Amino acid sequence: MSDGTKRLRNLLLTLGVGAIVAVALALVGGTGGAKLNDSLALFAIWGIAAVSLNLINGTTGILSLGHHGFMLVGGYVTALLILPEDARQRISSSARSEMTPFTLGLSVEGWFDALGLHVLTTPETLWVRFLIALFFGGLVAMAFGLIVGIPSLRLKGDYLAIVTFGFGEIIRLTASTSLFKPFTNGALGYSGVPSDFGKSLWWTFALLALTLFVMTKLKYSSHGRALQAIREDEIAAEAMGIGLARHKVMAFALSAFFAGVAGGLWVSYLSAARLDFFLFFLTFFFLVAISVGGTGSYTGVLLGVAVVVFVQQYGDPLERTYSLATWFGLIGVLILAAGIGAGLYRRDRRMRPVWHPLVLGLIGIGAATLLVAIVGQNWAMFDGTFQAFGMRRILLAVLLIVIMAVRPEGIMGRAEFSWAWLLRERKDQPSDEERAQDAWLSGSEMDKEKERARARSDDPLPRSLTEEESPGAHPLLERGTKPKSDGGRRRKRGDDEGSS
Amino acid sequence: MSKTAARASARRYPWGWILGLGIPLLVFVRIWYLVAVVGERELASFIGAALLSLQLGSLYALIALGYTMVYGIIRLINFAHGEVFMVGAFISYFLFTGAPFALPWALLWSIVVAWGVMFVLNLWRGRMADPVVLGGGAATLALLAVVLSTSPVNWLVAMLLSMLTTGVLGVLIDRIAYRPLRGAPRISLLITAIAVSFFLQNTGLIVFTRNQTPFRPGTAWTDFLQFDVAGGTVYTSRLVFLIPIVTAVLVVALTLFVTRTRLGKAMRASAQDAEVAQMMGVNVNRVIATTFLLGSMLAAAGGVLWGLNFGSLNQPAVMGILPGIKAFAAAVIGGIGSLPGAVLGGLLLGFLENFVTALFPRSGDFPGITEYKDTFAFALLIVVLLIRPSGIVGEDLSEKV
């Protein structure tokens, strides 16, 4: 298959799957339950935010922990601009309102009214106003992203992470001060934000697709390659002529823009804007999604977001009320699992599990606990029930700890999903383009002569050894042993030094 | 390049002197302006604010020591340290409120603490099967089981027990979460620390409480205290003596440990170069465990004093975050990796939060800067990191731990 047909096939496959997804979404929107609808919308919204965070964390290799701050900015701006008239009336008539007439007058509808565009002030064209509000939210968040990006010029690694965390918290803490109260309405926030968009699968998934499109296009553009070069080695990247400052600030700004859009959708999803919707747990969830799915891989991040949303939406059985005996048994099962896991994890030289006495003791305690719970279901000490709020978050935290210890690059690593991978396409045949490049790159006729001679002779040595002998071997011959370009299996991830 | 330039300019301009003398001068002028010219405030209110700053600054210093020690040795910003502080406060709370426990609970607690005692003795004796280690563990177990199941506990005993228990928790965190990642990129380690912090917050919600908890152990140290000075009255509490004194005792003990003992020497060696220290026969993993033990113990002490100071504990999911991150800021401001730097940074942050807000009080239309109090730490952190990442006590001046 030539390149052209392959590209056409991939495009057709993408479009076909997109059409199937669209039909499925339409069916869910029409007939699926509200919970499924909400979960999918949440997946799309958090997907936008996580993918945008991945631009900083995964592609550029800067750990940023202030994403909830950008989302807050975008969310509040969107909410303020789209807030319907009756909600504004309620705020202005409320005694506890912190808004001024000026800030209450900030609305896209009002602007269109002033411009005389009455077509765009009808309820039917709410989507136009919402898109404009989202865009403004993104822009303001982008401005904040530019500000937060500035310290990245001086700082690296964990210090920068703490500073971004500090910025995120500063944004949240100052949003309720008297300086910004007129814009955020203090601790009350806004209620009555139209939820037609945050809960609509069409809009959320369309924006997710747009975000993914922009991000993947960026990843494989020269700017994206520059960002990846910065992740791998800042000094080398700078030596190659990549402007560190420009690229890092650009990454922050773009990421903040999409975080602002996600914030706008999040506000619409919750149909209210309050400061406690934008706590650190959001950034933590995205961090889990990125780490689980694969740092630097956008499709992997979506996989991680699916995991997080699933745990968050369908993990509520974990937080129901159960009898104490059940909890006791659950703890026993956990201890048992931890013991067995620890025993299987540690292997001796022949890869047999090592059953250390401590591990055996752990297993014994777990089994005993489980036994007691089963035998003593009706004992007096197990009278009563218990409800464990926060179990889902604990599960996510444990997931993150385990992932960082066992597979720090995540499920997908840095590889992206591709049709070629799905169809098990062989990579050892060069494409037309690669052939052309090879022909151009291959050196003088003398080299080619040497190659032919080498190809004729039956070389007893393995390919790798001969390659090391002559680094100038023909690229066509190297093809079979060429290491994969994605660093998916590599453990090292943008090693970094502190700023000091 | 920038480093040498900065050093050269530092030689040319004595910034230390300019700031060290200029800022106090500005503060005095401002106080004089507020007291004598405007006449809104009394001198006594500033003395009260200074005492409060000292109190809070000591607390930040206690927490910051844990950050700075861990950072000095494994270069990890221990994001979970604030949560360790929270756990310490809650453990002491449950000790002094529920003290004569049912025997199973008393036994469970005694086992944990006895294990901690054995761990500490093991650091000193070198092996677990030592008679001193085993005897110490057994004695602690027996004594604690009897005491906890029979008599109530006062706040000081609760604090000491909480320190031991929380120290064990710190060691466990290191063993379970951080040790598998030795040698991994520092960012992975930081992400794990964030996960541990999140885990502890939500586990605290389940295990401890979901509500704000009153913290009143019924000691005379929390009594109010007032005295007349400079024509006004200073309102404070006896804690203004207790907290700095406890902090000073713990800091002196820590400094003696680090400078005078073999293990302290091993800590300093590991902080300088862990690999070489290992080659010289230092058991680096044990040193790191000791660091976590000491840091967590100090954090627990800080938690108990924090509870005494505010009279209540915030709910577990939020209690540790702000004090933790502020103490980290204090450690960076003072110069991370340095013990005196952490104390200095903590005190400085305490003064910035309470004394500086007192310098700009609410008057007329101006709402005052109290509502921005929590952002000072972050702002100062960012400024210090941008201008002088080595902190006040620069790297080469300080004694690294």
Contacts of B96 by beta carbon, 8 Å cutoff, 6+ apart: B152, B153, B154, B155, B158, B217
- Considering only CB atoms, A287 lies closest to which of B191, B199, B381, namely B191
Please indicate, yes or no, whether residues A200 and A333 belong to a single structural domain of this protein: no
Nearest residue of B to residue A491, measured between CA atoms? B184
DSSP string spanning A27-71?
HHHHTS-HHHHHHHHHHHHHHHHHHHHHIIIIIS------HHHHH
- Closest CA–CA distance from residue B121 to any residue of chain A (Å): 20
User: A352 is in which domain, residue-wise?
Assistant: 318-389
- Check: CB of residue B324 under 8 Å from CB of residue B85: yes
- Of the segments A188-197, B116-125, B163-172, which one has the largest average pLDDT value? B163-172
Among A389, A420, A446, give the residue marking a domain's end: A389
Nearest residue of A to residue B210, measured between CA atoms? A389
- Considering only CB atoms, A405 lies closest to which of B181, B194, B377, namely B181
- Closest CA–CA distance from residue B366 to any residue of chain A (Å): 10
Please indicate, yes or no, whether residues A124 and A153 belong to a single structural domain of this protein: yes
pLDDT category of residue B107 using cuts at 50, 70 and 90: confident
3-class DSSP assignment, residue A500? coil
Burial B35-70 (b: 16+ CB within 10 A, else e): beeeeebbbbbbbbbbbbbbbbbbbbbbbbbbbbbb
Contacts of B187 by beta carbon, 8 Å cutoff, 6+ apart: A61, A63, A157, A158, A161, A493, A494, A496
DSSP string spanning A480-497?
GGPPPSS-TT--------
In a domain, A460, yes or no: no
**Sequence-ordered alpha helix ranges (H) in A271-390:** 280-293, 298-314, 324-345, 357-375
Strands B213-214 and A190-191: unpaired
- Residues of chain B numbered 45-84 and touching chain A (CB < 8 Å): 75-77
pLDDT category of residue B229 using cuts at 50, 70 and 90: confident
Contacts of B281 by beta carbon, 8 Å cutoff, 6+ apart: none
- Of A325, A318, A323, A317, nearest to A369 (Cα)? A325
* Token output for B178: 């951080």
Interface residue B385 vs chain A (CB under 8 A): yes
pLDDT of residue A49: 95
- Check: CB of residue A60 under 8 Å from CB of residue A250: no
* Each residue's pLDDT tens digit, B56-94: 999 999 999 999 999 888 888 899 999 999 999 999 998
Backbone region of residue A32 per phi and psi (left: phi > 0; alpha: psi in -120 to 50; beta: other values): beta
State how far the Cα of A280 lies from the Cα of A268, in Å rounded to an integer: 19
Name the helix (H) or strand (E) containing A183: helix A181-184
Please indicate, yes or no, whether residues A339 and A280 belong to a single structural domain of this protein: no
Whole-structure pTM over 0.90, yes or no? no
Q: Helix A391-406 to helix B186-207 angle, to the nearest 10 degrees?
A: 160
State how far the Cα of A487 lies from the Cα of A457, in Å rounded to an integer: 34
CATH number at residue A226: 1.10.3470
What are the structural domain ranges in chain B?
Answer: 41-99+152-387
Length of chain B: 401
Helices then strands (H, E): number in chain A? 23, 4
Please indicate, yes or no, whether residues A230 and A347 belong to a single structural domain of this protein: no
- Check: CB of residue A252 under 8 Å from CB of residue A149: yes
State how far the Cα of B385 lies from the Cα of B391, in Å rounded to an integer: 8
In a domain, A212, yes or no: yes
State how far the Cα of B188 lies from the Cα of A408, in Å rounded to an integer: 7
Q: Helix B43-74 to helix B284-310 angle, to the nearest 10 degrees?
A: 160
pLDDT of residue A94: 79
Burial B300-318 (b: 16+ CB within 10 A, else e): bbbbbbbbbbeeebbbbbe
Among A314, A344, A365, give the residue marking a domain's end: A314
Name the helix (H) or strand (E) containing B135: helix B131-150
Please indicate, yes or no, whether residues A43 and A172 belong to a single structural domain of this protein: yes
In a domain, A266, yes or no: yes
Query: For chain A, what percentages of helix, strand and coil (3-state, to nearest 5) are there?
Result: 70, 0, 30
State how far the Cα of B388 lies from the Cα of A154, in Å rounded to an integer: 11
Burial A146-181 (b: 16+ CB within 10 A, else e): eebbebbebbbbbbbbbbbbbbbbbbbbbbbbeebb
In chain A, the number of structural domains is 2
Please indicate, yes or no, whether residues A89 and A191 belong to a single structural domain of this protein: yes
Hey, are the CB atoms on B187 and A291 less than 8 Å from each other?
Answer: no
Counting beta carbons within 10 angstroms of the beta carbon of residue A466, is it exposed (0 to 12), middle (13 to 18) or buried (19 or more)?
Answer: middle
Could you tell me the maximum CA-CA distance found in chain A, to the nearest angstrom?
Answer: 92
State how far the Cα of B21 lies from the Cα of A471, in Å rounded to an integer: 65
- Residues of chain B numbered 156-195 and touching chain A (CB < 8 Å): 177, 180-181, 184-188, 190-192, 194-195
Hey, are the CB atoms on A404 and B205 less than 8 Å from each other?
Answer: no
* Token output for A140: 């303001």
What is the dotted CATH code of the domain comprising B41-99+152-387?
1.10.3470
In a domain, A498, yes or no: no
In a domain, A447, yes or no: no
Residue type at position A172:
R
Interface residue B363 vs chain A (CB under 8 A): no
Tens of pLDDT along chain A (500 residues)?
667 787 888 888 888 888 888 888 777 766 767 888 889 999 999 999 999 999 998 888 888 898 999 999 999 999 999 888 888 888 888 777 777 777 777 888 888 888 887 777 777 888 888 999 999 999 999 999 998 888 777 777 788 888 888 888 888 888 888 888 888 887 788 888 888 888 888 889 999 999 999 998 898 898 989 999 998 888 898 898 888 888 999 999 999 999 999 999 999 999 999 988 998 899 999 999 999 888 878 888 999 999 999 999 888 888 888 888 888 888 889 889 888 887 877 777 777 777 777 778 888 888 988 888 888 777 777 777 888 888 889 999 999 998 888 888 888 877 777 777 777 666 666 667 777 777 776 655 555 666 666 666 655 554 444 444 444 444 444 444 444 444 444 444 444 444 44
- Provide, as residue numbers in chain B, all residues whose Cβ is less than 8 Å from the Cβ of A494: 185, 187
Please indicate, yes or no, whether residues A251 and A213 belong to a single structural domain of this protein: yes
Counting beta carbons within 10 angstroms of the beta carbon of residue A402, is it exposed (0 to 12), middle (13 to 18) or buried (19 or more)?
Answer: middle
- Considering only CB atoms, A408 lies closest to which of B188, B206, B390, namely B188
Phi and psi at residue B229, in whole multiples of 5°?
Answer: -155, 140
Please indicate, yes or no, whether residues A296 and A357 belong to a single structural domain of this protein: no
Q: What angle do CA B128, B131, B135 make, to 5 degrees?
A: 95
Backbone region of residue B100 per phi and psi (left: phi > 0; alpha: psi in -120 to 50; beta: other values): beta
The torsion angle over the Cα atoms of residues A23, A25, A31 and A32, rounded to 10 degrees, is 140
Query: For chain B, what percentages of helix, strand and coil (3-state, to nearest 5) are there?
Result: 75, 5, 20
pLDDT of residue B194: 92
pLDDT of residue B187: 83
Contacts of A419 by beta carbon, 8 Å cutoff, 6+ apart: A9, A10, A13, A14, A425
- Provide, as residue numbers in chain B, all residues whose Cβ is less than 8 Å from the Cβ of A173: 372, 374-375
Interface predicted TM-score (ipTM) of this complex, two decimals: 0.85
Please indicate, yes or no, whether residues A211 and A94 belong to a single structural domain of this protein: yes
DSSP-derived letter for residue A355 is: -
Interface residue B129 vs chain A (CB under 8 A): no
State how far the Cα of A441 lies from the Cα of A434, in Å rounded to an integer: 10
- Of A12, A163, A137, nearest to A77 (Cα)? A137
What is the rounded average pLDDT of the residues B193-213?
A: 90
Phi and psi at residue B260, in whole multiples of 5°?
Answer: -105, -15
State how far the Cα of A40 lies from the Cα of A42, in Å rounded to an integer: 5
- Considering only CB atoms, B378 lies closest to which of A169, A287, A498, namely A169
pLDDT of residue B1: 44
In a domain, A463, yes or no: no
Among A288, A314, A340, give the residue marking a domain's end: A314
pLDDT of residue B189 exceeding 50, the answer is yes
Please indicate, yes or no, whether residues A240 and A322 belong to a single structural domain of this protein: no
* Token output for B400: 């690294």
**Sequence-ordered alpha helix ranges (H) in A346-462:** 357-375, 391-406, 419-422, 432-441, 445-456
- Closest CA–CA distance from residue A394 to any residue of chain B (Å): 5
- Considering only CB atoms, B185 lies closest to which of A390, A405, A493, namely A493
Counting beta carbons within 10 angstroms of the beta carbon of residue B386, is it exposed (0 to 12), middle (13 to 18) or buried (19 or more)?
Answer: middle
* Token output for A135: 């865009």
- Of A108 and B302, which is predicted with more confidence? B302
Task: For chains A and B, count residue pairs whose Cβ atoms are closer than 8 Å.
Answer: 140
Counting beta carbons within 10 angstroms of the beta carbon of residue B221, is it exposed (0 to 12), middle (13 to 18) or buried (19 or more)?
Answer: middle
Interface residue B202 vs chain A (CB under 8 A): yes
In a domain, A441, yes or no: no
Interface residue B360 vs chain A (CB under 8 A): no
- Check: CB of residue B166 under 8 Å from CB of residue B297: yes
State how far the Cα of A290 lies from the Cα of A302, in Å rounded to an integer: 8
Nearest residue of A to residue B3, measured between CA atoms? A500
Interface residue B382 vs chain A (CB under 8 A): yes
State how far the Cα of A464 lies from the Cα of A163, in Å rounded to an integer: 46
DSSP-derived letter for residue B238 is: T
- Closest CA–CA distance from residue A230 to any residue of chain B (Å): 15
- Of B41 and A453, which is predicted with more confidence? B41
Please indicate, yes or no, whether residues A210 and A265 belong to a single structural domain of this protein: yes
**Sequence-ordered alpha helix ranges (H) in B280-338:** 284-310, 316-319, 321-334
The strand pairing partners of A385, in sequence order, are A323
pLDDT of residue A135: 94
* Token output for B69: 């020690």
Name the helix (H) or strand (E) containing B227: strand B224-229
- Closest CA–CA distance from residue B280 to any residue of chain A (Å): 25
What is the rounded average pLDDT of the residues B227-239?
A: 81
- Provide, as residue numbers in chain A, all residues whose Cβ is less than 8 Å from the Cβ of B180: 405
Nearest residue of A to residue B201, measured between CA atoms? A394
3-class DSSP assignment, residue A270? helix
The strand pairing partners of B233, in sequence order, are B228
Nearest residue of A to residue B184, measured between CA atoms? A492
* Each residue's pLDDT tens digit, B341-398: 899 999 999 998 888 888 887 777 777 777 788 888 888 888 888 777 778 776 543 3
Please indicate, yes or no, whether residues A289 and A323 belong to a single structural domain of this protein: no
Contacts of A239 by beta carbon, 8 Å cutoff, 6+ apart: none
- Of A157 and B331, which is predicted with more confidence? B331
In a domain, A454, yes or no: no
pLDDT of residue B161: 87
- Closest CA–CA distance from residue B114 to any residue of chain A (Å): 17
